[in-house]
Amino acid sequence: MATSTRKPKPQDAAAGAAWVPVAGETGIRVRMYRVGFGDFFLISLLDDNGAPQHIVIDCGVFKGTSQTGDIHSIEAAVAHMAKATGGRLALIVMTHRHTDHIVGFARCADLFAAMRVDAVWMPVWESEYDAQALAFQAQLTQVALDLRQHFSALGAAASPEENTARKYMENATGELAAAAAAAGSNAKALDLLKNGLGVKPDYYQRGDKAKLPQALADAGLRCQVLGPPPITAADLMTLMDLTKGVGQYLGKDAAGGNGTRAPFAPKWDVEPADVLKDDEKPVYPDLAFREWVWPRKSWQDVTLDEARPVRQTMEDKLKRWNPATALLAAKKLNAFLNNQSLVLLFTFKGKKLLFVGDAQAGNWEHWLFDTDQPDKKASGRLAKSAEQILSSIDFYKVGHHGSSNATPKRAVAAMAATGRKFAAMCSTEADVYGTEDPDDPAKGTEVPRGPLLDALGAAAALVRSDQIAIKVDGKKIDAQAPKALPAAAPGRHFDKGELWIDCYL
């Protein structure tokens, strides 16, 4: 068995530094920076001349519901990446527009703008040339802004459900705090990627032929676009979970039910101050609320002055919405954006690397089962093409930071079916979204999800970003899941550096 004695070397940080592959390697290095709860990956490929060609996939971080997801290392990580690549990137991939995948482009806009970038890839849903895509994104943005206004009005009065919904929304639009706005927002990141790098993005959906930059094509890289689903399959985009044993590593609905719906049809909705055209009287005059006056008295004895403040109090409470409704709306927004993720299968010198962004059920189902129709049961056999891909991968970027709703059980089973070991990397930070409930471990609210990582760890050499300690500005950030990196095996070596873990293939 080949082993690697490779250690981080000074030249790793030098401009455009290469490395010498050891036995079993083909010249691929996947670098996962530890940024907290977010993705920032640098893929480096050695061409026939031994020169590295570089790809950045996502650059973001998010505080999450715990407010601990941002460990304040992303600026140092981007500075290191810029130096290590000599300021030259063949390709930047933005999988989708969530903060935990793009805010680093805004915070470090000057560094990225100073780099030479040959190409930028985005999902088709970001296309400025497709009217339906523009309409969808405008609608999603409006939903997020409506939620933002609602949460701002609530302030400290927000319920736990509303605070969770607030975090979903902030991940979609960028954080609300003034300091965060000054540091960078999702809108700033999108503007940089679309207009500030000197190249126009290419927008992709499943089945599109990827237009590789010349340097990557000459090096021998190939890429198959597996997701997102096309705009014509928009119904798949809201599908979050697959069930009946073919879905996620989730025991039951983490929300404890089927969500909350409005109790009455829209035709029964009226404003308290609405008037009837025939007599110009309110539908619900103040005295309609007289039975709620406290202390109770005979309704005939209630005065208008007593009834009016009761009506106002009830109206104010109703205007705050149902907390579960706000949470449901935010979750749907979150799912739609996650399902927009670019899903890419890279092939280089016989090695296959699968990057899935934060794809959830609808995105996976489209290519796993070769369908345009949402089917939460996801019945039937996997498509032969999906089986072939999953059974032959050499590297898997774990979806959505190890969340239970981002790597279907059927996919893990197909990866493990042949017993062929592969490498897997999970960029995550523990205790940011949910924690494991010792009284109900099947609840599945913790990210990363323990049973999912256990299943992947049984089939792959798995590393997670928070299993190493790092230093930023002389300050040590301890590992959250301290564990030795997996032992070396042919074509699968791991090393750790100041801010990162490397996987060599």
The per-residue pLDDT for 400 is 94
Averaging pLDDT over each range in 170-174, 243-247, 299-303, which range is the top one?
Answer: 170-174
- For CA atoms 147, 151, 154, 159, the dihedral sign is positive
Lowest mean pLDDT among 51-60, 80-89, 185-194, 392-401: 185-194
What average pLDDT does range 227-253 have in this prediction?
A: 56
pLDDT above 90: residue 214: yes
pLDDT above 90: residue 246: no
What average pLDDT does range 372-376 have in this prediction?
A: 56
Evaluate whether 334 touches 168 at the Cβ level (below 8 Å): yes
pLDDT above 90: residue 13: no
The structure tokens 């590295």 sit at 52
Q: Which helix (H) or strand (E) holds 225?
A: strand 222-227
pLDDT above 90: residue 266: no
pLDDT above 80: residue 462: yes
pLDDT above 90: residue 57: yes
Who wins on pLDDT, 245 or 391? 391
Average pLDDT for the chain? 80
Identity (one letter) of the amino acid at 339?
A: N
Percent pLDDT > 90 in the chain is: 47
pLDDT above 70: residue 285: no
pLDDT tier, 165 (very low <50, low <70, confident <90, very high otherwise): confident
Lowest mean pLDDT among 94-103, 308-317, 418-427: 308-317
How many whole angstroms separate alpha carbon 286 and alpha carbon 306? 9
How many whole angstroms separate alpha carbon 303 and alpha carbon 320? 27
What average pLDDT does range 327-339 have in this prediction?
A: 74
What average pLDDT does range 160-166 have in this prediction?
A: 73
Nearest 5°: phi and psi at 227? -160, 165
Who wins on pLDDT, 156 or 357? 357
What average pLDDT does range 42-55 have in this prediction?
A: 96
How many whole angstroms separate alpha carbon 86 and alpha carbon 91? 14
Two structure tokens written together for 112: 């990225």
How many whole angstroms separate alpha carbon 356 and alpha carbon 77? 22
Tell me the CA distances in angstroms from 310 to 185, 271, 306, 391, 444, one per residue in order.
42, 16, 7, 65, 42
Lowest mean pLDDT among 171-180, 254-263, 285-294: 254-263
The per-residue pLDDT for 365 is 86
How many whole angstroms separate alpha carbon 162 and alpha carbon 155? 10
Identity (one letter) of the amino acid at 122?
A: M
The structure tokens 């990057």 sit at 355
How many whole angstroms separate alpha carbon 345 and alpha carbon 63? 29
pLDDT above 80: residue 41: yes
The answer for residues whose C-beta is within 8 angstroms of residue 258's C-beta and 6 or more apart is none
How many whole angstroms separate alpha carbon 476 and alpha carbon 358? 29
* Other Cβ atoms within 10 Å of 314 Cβ, number: 14
DSSP one-letter string for 83-139: HHTTTEESEEE-----HHHHHHHHHTHHHHHTSEE--EEEEGGG-SS-HHHHHHHHH
The per-residue pLDDT for 16 is 59
The per-residue pLDDT for 65 is 82
Lowest mean pLDDT among 68-77, 187-196, 253-262, 375-384: 253-262
Nearest 5°: phi and psi at 92? -115, 130
Nearest 5°: phi and psi at 12? -60, -30
C-alpha torsion 353→355→361→363, nearest 10: -100
The alpha carbons of the chain give a radius of gyration, in whole angstroms, of 25
pLDDT tier, 261 (very low <50, low <70, confident <90, very high otherwise): very low
pLDDT tier, 370 (very low <50, low <70, confident <90, very high otherwise): confident
pLDDT tier, 94 (very low <50, low <70, confident <90, very high otherwise): very high
**β-pairing verdict for 460-464 and 422-426:** parallel
Identity (one letter) of the amino acid at 256?
A: G
DSSP one-letter string for 415-451: HHTT---EEEEE---TTSB----TT-GGG--SBS-HH
How many whole angstroms separate alpha carbon 208 and alpha carbon 424? 26
Nearest 5°: phi and psi at 492? -150, 90
pLDDT tier, 177 (very low <50, low <70, confident <90, very high otherwise): very low
How many whole angstroms separate alpha carbon 247 and alpha carbon 405? 8
pLDDT above 70: residue 345: yes
How many whole angstroms separate alpha carbon 399 and alpha carbon 459? 16
pLDDT above 80: residue 371: no
Evaluate whether 429 touches 71 at the Cβ level (below 8 Å): yes
